[in-house]
Amino acid sequence: MVPLEIERKFLVREGWSIPEGSTRVVIRQAYLTDAESNIEVRLRAKDDAFLMTVKAPRSDGGPSVNVRQEVEFPVPQTVFDQLWELAPDRLDKERWTVALDAAGTTASVDVYTGVLAGLRVVEIEFDDVEQARDFIVPDWFGEDVTGRAEWGNRQLSRGVPPVVDPVAGTTSAPPAVRD
């Protein structure tokens, strides 16, 4: 049976800062499938680890929970480097693991660098869909962007961020995306 990734994704509210005690990992990732493909094939370098991930969507999460089948495995750095050269869409970010409660629940806060500098997104992974739906959203979480393609890393890797309206606190798809 293929493992599942069950997650929700939010913007991070302006003014919030990463708390002391949070841990950081530097991530480079690239996509070998285009943004319109149903299957996602991703390369990721996390510090000194080199990984390939294949994701396929499932419909059992509904609009409020993103559920995907996910297979991830290590690849040798030489293979990673060769595939990296074939991947046109890339991004760089720092991922901070932030404690949410005393029970050990954590969130992953992605702080993008490069052409996406300034974007901050928080993701929470869950054991099941019910837990994801029942999640009580902390006050430092902003707009819920779960399942919105323009906030997916594959789309962001194309270098065109969504349009953020700071007054309304909402986002919309980016203007024309490059081919």
Which pLDDT value is given to residue 177?
A: 41
Provide the 10 A C-beta neighbour count for residue 49: 13
d(CA 36, CA 158): 12
d(CA 77, CA 23): 24
Contact (CB, 8 A) for 140 and 12: yes
Residue by residue, pLDDT tens for the chain (179 residues) are 789 999 999 999 999 999 999 999 999 999 999 878 889 999 999 989 999 999 998 877 777 788 999 999 999 999 999 999 999 999 999 999 999 987 888 999 999 999 999 899 999 999 999 999 999 999 999 999 998 888 999 999 998 888 766 555 556 555 444 43
Q: CA of 150: how far to CAs of 9, 175, 176, 177, in Å? A: 12, 10, 12, 10
Looking at residue 119, what DSSP letter applies? -
Which pLDDT value is given to residue 169?
A: 52
d(CA 108, CA 116): 17
Q: Please list the alpha-helical segments (H only) found in the chain.
A: 77-86, 129-134, 153-156
Which pLDDT value is given to residue 128?
A: 92
Map out the domains of the chain as residue ranges: 4-172
The domain defined by 4-172 folds into Hypothetical Protein Pfu-838710-001 (2.40.320)
Contact (CB, 8 A) for 28 and 92: yes
Q: CA of 73: how far to CAs of 13, 42, 55, in Å? A: 33, 11, 12
- Which residue(s) pair with 127 in the sheet? none
Q: CA of 145: how far to CAs of 52, 60, 122, in Å? A: 25, 18, 10
Strands (E), the chain: 4-12, 23-31, 40-46, 49-57, 66-74, 89-99, 106-112, 120-125, 141-144, 163-165, 170-172
